[in-house]
Copies of this chain bind each other. A is one copy, B any other.
Amino acid sequence: MTKPETFSKGERTRQAVMEAAHQLFVDQGYAATSMRQIADKAGLALGGIYNHFPTKESIFSEVIVAYHPFHQVVPVLKAAPGDTFEAFVRNAAKSMIAELGRRPDFIKLMFVELVEFEGKNMPNMLQTIFPQVLPLVVRFTDKQDELRGIQPFVLFRSFLGLFFSYYMTEFLLVNMPANLFPKGSLDDFVDIYLHGVLAQKELI
């Protein structure tokens, strides 16, 4: 008598609504997406949605939480193996980019929230995730002896910033006409970061 493997009818359409809404929000933004579009895409009538969600905003709230990429990214960073700082960075960067790469919708979703809900009291992606992400800074403190005495927070922030920007530009380059900007390799970025923070010593 464990958790039922089969979802109830209600639960299934609830999921369908959220998935449809997620796609539309990512494609068009929040305000430009209508309840009718959501209903059509989810395959039910307009009024039926309101058996599962009280308002349009509540759908967005739940989508934000459910499709939060840190559900995948945080554990990956937390568990990235590596005896040395270098090994950790190489593994962590690769895993993080790989996980994010599976979620090309993430940036759009984050931007939609930033653009259309900033200032309103909504479950904020960044605010809700910072408490989760912050403990990861320990992984940048316990190998201090190999580094050039940079503050752990700066280490962490530059790590996230550099590789997030790699992910973001990679995403943007895909949507560019022609290859104005040649795609790069992640290894180059890892290389730059490691040379940037490690004490002068041999690198692999």
Residues of B within 8 A of A181 (CB): 130, 134, 153, 157
Q: Does A78 contact B (CB under 8 A)?
A: no
Residues of B within 8 A of A166 (CB): 157-158, 161
Stretch at the interface among A13-21, A60-68, A90-98, A106-114: A106-114
Q: Which of B151, B161, B184, B197 contacts A154 (CB 8 A)?
A: B184
Cα distance A164–B166 in the bound complex, in angstroms: 11
Contact with B along A135-160 (1 / 0, CB 8 A): 00000000000001011011001101
Cα distance A26–B189 in the bound complex, in angstroms: 32
Q: Could you tell me how many residues of chain A have their Cβ less than 8 Å away from some Cβ of chain B?
A: 52
Residues of B within 8 A of A194 (CB): 196
Instruction: Kindly report which residue of chain B lies nearest to residue A184, judged by CB atoms.
Output: B154
Q: Is A188 touching B131 in the complex (CB atoms < 8 A)? A: no
Q: Is A184 touching B153 in the complex (CB atoms < 8 A)? A: yes
Contact with B along A168-187 (1 / 0, CB 8 A): 11001001110011101000
In this complex, the member of A30, A134, A157, A182 whose beta carbon has the largest number of chain B beta carbons within 10 angstroms is A157
Inter-chain pairs besides A150-B192, A154-B188, 5 sampled, C-beta below 8 Å: A29-B116, A31-B31, A153-B182, A158-B166, A165-B165
